[in-house]
Every structure is written in C-alpha cells, then in structure tokens.
C-alpha cells in the first residue's frame, strides 16, 4: 500500500495548487504549465512511495493530459486578443504533431532514470537561458522554411512530449530569435501546445496500459485523479494569465520561474546520480 510519505489531503491540496499556478503561467508565458506540473507531480508521487521507475512517466503523461484543456483555454484567450500568428501555426502544426508522437513513444520505452535525467538536464539549460539569455539576440527576421522549417518544430514537439510540457519553453524562444513579436509568439505557442499534447497523451496511455504498480485511477501512464484535480483549476486560471500577460513585470516573474527550475533540476540530479 502506498501513501506512506504524506497524507491524502496534503496530496490533494498540492495537486490543486499546482493546477492553479500551472494554468496561470501557461496563459502568462505560453509554457503550457507542464514545466511546473511535472516536478510537482514527481515530488508528490515520490513522497507517496511509488516506484522510481514509473513516477516520471506518470508525471509527464498526466501533465500532457492537463495541457489539453489548459492549452485550449490559453489558446482561445490569446486568439481573442489577436495574439496568434495563424501562418506560423499552420506551418508548424504537422511537424509538431509528428514530433510529439515520436517523443511520447521514445519516453514510454526508456527507463524512469533516463527520463528523469533528461528532464533535469533540460530544466537546467532552460534555467541558465532565463537567467543569462540575451532577449535582444536575433538569428533572423523570418522563421526558416524548407527542411529547417520542418525540423525545428519536429524536434520541439519530440522534446516537449518527452518532458510533459507544451513546448512554449522552446517555441517562444525560437520565434523570438527569428523576429516574431513576443506576444504573438506566446499566443501561437499556446495553440501549438494544445495540439502537441493530444498525440503525446494518447501514446503515453497506450505505452502504460500493461505497466504494474501505477497509482490508483490511472489510464496507462495518465493518472485520472491528478487530471481531475489539476485540470479544472488549471483551465480556469489560464485566461487570467493571458489577460495579464501585457501588464505584469515579466522580468521578475521570469527570474522566480528560473529559480524554481534550478531547485527542481538540482533535486532531481541528487536523486538520480
């Protein structure tokens, strides 16, 4: 029997709080909220005593499931504010979907150790970029086309699906580097995150159907209890983040977000190394 680390009530409260803040940040920064949901779920499931080889898979899969309603709400709110670049969305949609499917399949096959190490490493690099990245850096005035234009969203889709995130962490940075205004990059990224999460969630369900020792009420690797507790608050708070995306001091929030990623990354490294 699990639930040895913390009681069920703190577990429920932690999931609900993670849902509210992940949704808010999804709307505010276009990061899908998964970059917060995954480590929160990881630490909760670890504290409850679930096997280390499955907790990262469950965290990533459940996060992707949460991103579906959250991403839609965030995408809809940004679209109402005319902050979605339909041309980029159409150009990147197919490779994003293909990449997401590939990433989820790979993640379902690798060990929990490797998946945790992968998340910790990417989180550390994102943290460093948030702290020291040059916001004025540009690689070009327009997004690349052809093979490069296909491969960029393909790899973003694959990495994001493996990490349980909506891709905003990468997509917003890439679009900004190629001259897309930040608010349109955030809105477009929210749309891509919604579509990315659908095939990713599906393949995590399939790959986890016959896995033992999963948390109660799990469909494959997707934990339905986590989905029920996180998704509603996340969906409700996403439009709040989108509404204040133009008015809040982004630099301060970015630094706090980077610090959270640093702590999460270091703790994961300590647990797996």
**Residue 234, token pair as written in the block:** 């996340």
User: Tens-digit pLDDT profile for the chain (273 aa)?
Assistant: 454 445 567 778 878 887 888 777 767 765 556 777 888 788 788 877 888 889 999 999 999 998 888 888 888 888 888 888 889 899 999 999 999 999 999 998 888 888 888 888 887 887 887 777 666 666 667 788 888 889 989 998 998 899 888 777 778 778 877 787 877 888 888 889 999 999 999 999 999 999 988 888 899 999 998 888 888 888 788 778 777 766 666 676 667 667 767 877 887 787 777
Rounded to a whole number of angstroms, the distance between the first and last alpha carbons of the chain is 27
Residue 235 to residues 6, 27, 211, 214, 256: CA-CA distances in angstroms? 26, 10, 29, 25, 22
Distance from chain centroid for Cα 68: 11
**Alpha helices, H only, the chain:** 8-29, 34-47, 52-80, 86-109, 112-132, 146-163, 168-177, 182-207, 224-243, 250-272
**Residue for token digits 């679930």?**
50
H/E stretch holding 123 reads: helix 112-132
- Domain ranges, ordered by start, for the chain: 8-272
Provide the total of helices (H) and of strands (E) in the chain, helices listed first. 10, 2
């Amino acid at each position: 029997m699990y639930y040895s680390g913390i009681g069920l009530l703190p577990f429920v409260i932690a999931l609900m709080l993670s849902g509210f803040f992940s949704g808010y940040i999804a709307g505010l920064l276009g990061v899908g909220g998964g970059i917060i949901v995954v480590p929160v779920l990881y630490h909760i499931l670890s504290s409850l005593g679930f096997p280390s080889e499955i907790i990262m898979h469950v965290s990533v899969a459940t996060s992707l499931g949460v991103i579906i309603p959250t991403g839609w709400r965030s995408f809809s709110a940004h679209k109402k504010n005319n902050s979605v670049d339909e041309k980029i969305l159409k150009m990147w949609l197919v490779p994003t979907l293909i990449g997401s499917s590939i990433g989820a399949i790979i993640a379902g096959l690798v060990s929990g150790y490797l998946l945790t190490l992968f998340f910790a490493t990417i989180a550390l690099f994102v943290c460093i970029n948030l702290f020291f990245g040059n916001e004025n850096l540009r690689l070009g005035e327009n997004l690349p086309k052809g093979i490069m234009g296909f491969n960029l969203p393909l790899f973003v889709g694959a990495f994001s699906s493996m990490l349980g995130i909506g891709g905003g962490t990468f997509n917003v940075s890439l679009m900004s580097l190629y001259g897309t205004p930040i608010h349109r990059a955030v809105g477009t990224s929210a749309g891509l995150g919604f579509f990315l999460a659908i095939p990713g969630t599906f393949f995590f369900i399939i790959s986890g159907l016959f896995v033992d020792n999963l948390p109660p009420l799990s469909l494959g690797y997707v934990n339905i209890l986590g989905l029920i507790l996180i998704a509603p608050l996340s969906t409700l708070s996403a439009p709040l983040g989108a509404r204040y995306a133009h008015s809040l001091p982004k630099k301060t929030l970015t630094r706090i977000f980077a610090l959270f990623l640093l702590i999460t990354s270091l703790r994961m490294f300590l647990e797996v190394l």
